[in-house]
Structure 1
Amino acid sequence: MSIYHFRKALPSEKAKIWEILQFAIQRRKEEGSNQWQDGYPNPEVIEIDIEKGYGFVLTEENTIIGYCAVISNYEPEYEKIVGKWLTNDDFVVVHRITIAQNYLGQGLSKIMLENIEDFSINNHIFSIKVDTNFDNFAMLKIFEKMEYIYCGEVYFRGSPRKAFEKVLRKTL
C-alpha cells in the first residue's frame, strides 16, 4: 500500500507542478470544457501560490502526484455568491485540485481533500469552501461523495462555477 504525504510545495517544484497542471488543462479541453482554457492557471499563478504558502503537493515517496492551493479566509469572489454559504466563520478555500496523469482514477483527489480537512481542523478552521466548473463531472462526484453541500454559484473570469461548502466536525 502506498504512503502519501501532503505538504507545502517548494519553489524548486514549480516546473513539476506546472507539468501536472498542463496535463489537467489539456484533459479539460479534450472533455470539451472551457474550464482552464483561458490562460489560467499558468506558471505565474503557481509561483504566487508557493510564495504565499498556498501551494500544496501530494507525494508518493519523492514523487509529486497532485497539487492544489489551500487558502485561509480569502476568496473575494466567494463574497458575491449567488446563493448562500452554510457558515460565515473562518474557512479554507481549495483551488486548482489536480492529479498527475499517471495517477488518475486512484482516488487521490479524495485523499488530498481528506488531508485538507485534517489541515483545517488542525488550524481550528471548520469550514471548507470549493468551486468547480458545471461540467467537471469527476470533481462534482467527489464533492458529492465527500458530503460537500451545494451553496450556489460564484463567478471567475466571467464564468459561473458551482460552489460547495463542507462544515467539519469539531473534535474534542
Structure 2
Amino acid sequence: MQLRKATMADFDQIITILKDGANQLAEHGVDQWQGDYPSHDQIKEDIKNGWAYLAVSDDHETVGAIAIVDGPDHVYDNLNGKWLCDTDNYVVIHRVAIKSEHAGKGYATQLLNSVINKIRQSDKVDSIRIDTHEDNKAMQHLINKMGFTQVGKLHGAYRPDETSYVYELKK
C-alpha cells in the first residue's frame, strides 16, 4: 500500500470515494457521514494543507482516501475524556474510506498500517488520534486492532445529536 499526496486534480476522485464510503455506512445502518460532512470545502482544505492522501494498492489502483491532519485539531476541544499524551504534537486521522469494490480485502488495515508507519518516522509527533461514530463497529474494530486506546467521547462535534468515540496511539 502506497500513500500518494492528493492534489486539486484528485478532488473529484476523493469526493467520489467519500460518497461511496457514506453509502456503505448507510447500507450498514450507520448514520455517520449522512449529512453535510465531509463537505467539499473540507476536502479542498485537506488538499490545500497537504493533509489529503489517496491509498494506492500494490497493483497501482486507487482503493481509498484518507486525511492526516496536523494538530491541534479543534474538533477535540470538548473531549469528554483524557488524552494519553498531553501534547499539541499530534496528528489526527480523519475521513478514511475504501472504495466499496475493494471492501473486505484488507485494504483498510493496510492503509492504517501505512499511515501509522509514516507518522512514526516523524520526530515532531508524540501521538496519533482518531475518532469514529458510536455505531461504526467496523471502524472501531479496525482502530482497536491497530493498537489505539479509547480515551473518551465527543458529543455533537460533527452533528448535534451525534456521539463519536475518540482514540489515541502513543508514538
TM more than 0.5: yes
**CA distance in 2 between partners of 1:163 and 1:35 (Å):** 14
1:117 is paired with a residue whose SS is helix
Q: CA deviation digits over 1:8-65, x for unaligned, max 9?
A: 1121111111111111111112222221111111332212110111101111244321
Partner of 1:167: 170
Matched pairs, number: 165
TM-score under structure 2 length normalisation: 0.90
- Describe the SS at the equivalent of 1:105: coil
Deviates most, 79-88 or 61-70: 61-70
* 1:40 corresponding residue in structure 2: 37
- Distance in 2 of aligned mates of 1:25 and 1:114: 22
- Give the Cα–Cα distance (whole angstroms) in 1 for the partners of residues 140 and 109 of structure 2: 12
Q: Which runs of 5+ in 1 are unaligned?
A: none
Residue matched to 2:128: 128
| Cα distance in structure 1, aligned partners of 2:27 and 2:116 | 31
Matched to 2:119, the amino acid is S
1:6 to 3, 12, 25: 3
Q: How does 1:1-172 map to 2 (within 5 A)?
A: 4-60=1-57, 61-89=59-87, 90-124=89-123, 125-155=125-155, 156=157, 157-158=159-160, 159-168=162-171
Q: CA-atom RMSD, angstroms?
A: 1.4
Instruction: Using the aligned pairs only, state the percent identity.
Output: 27
Tell me, in whole angstroms, the C-alpha distance in 2 between the residues paired with 1:44 and 1:64: 22
Moved over 3 A (4+): none
What is the TM-score with the length of structure 1 in the denominator? 0.89
Secondary structure at the counterpart of residue 106 of structure 1: coil
Q: Contact 2:64 / 2:96 at 8 angstroms: preserved in 1?
A: yes
- The answer for unaligned runs of 5 or more in structure 2 is none
Q: CA deviation at 1:119?
A: 2.1
C-alpha distance in 2, partners of 1:126/1:106? 31
